Amino acid sequence: MNSNDERANFPIHSCPGKIEIPTEEEQKALSELRKIKAMVREKKALLNGLKSSGRREEKHRITATEAELKELKEEWIKWERQKQDAARKRMIILGHEKPDESKKR
């Protein structure tokens, strides 16, 4: 069996070391980021509609929607950081990066 035949047995999203790419951690973070992105799109569309209506009574809803967008941004930052950490772990496992010596202690 030649090396091409051996590689053909692995799923496309897997490497010969049996590490799924993206990893489960990365997949979870990506999924959450997609959900947040969809919510942000909805909130921004709502906000644009509220602002373009020019009605004073919408001021409270505008403020609430802007606060929700701020919270979603904070969530996004949290999940983006988790995605980056998971990618770094994967790169260390694959031997493409070296672990930080400071984090071992």
Specify burial of residue 2 (Cβ count, 10 A radius: 0-12, 13-18, 19+): exposed
For residues 11 and 86, give the distance between their C-alpha atoms in angstroms, rounded to a whole number. Answer: 21
- pLDDT confidence bin for 20, thresholds 50/70/90: confident
Q: Please tell me the number of Cα atoms within 13 Å of 64 on its side-chain side.
A: 7
The model's pTM is 0.73
Mean pLDDT of 5-27: 65
In a domain? residue 5: no
State the residue range of the domain holding 41. 17-95
The pLDDT tens digits of the residues spanning 39-80 come to: 999 999 999 999 998 888 889 999 999 999 999 999 999 999
Q: Please report how the helices 24-53 and 59-93 are oriented relative to each other, as an axis angle in degrees rounded to 10.
A: 160
In a domain? residue 104: no
Averaged pLDDT of the chain:
84
pLDDT for the residue numbered 54: 83
Determine if the peptide bond prior to 11 is cis (ω within 30°). no
In a domain? residue 61: yes
pLDDT above 50: residue 86: yes
In a domain? residue 57: yes
In a domain? residue 7: no
Q: How many domains does the chain have?
A: 1
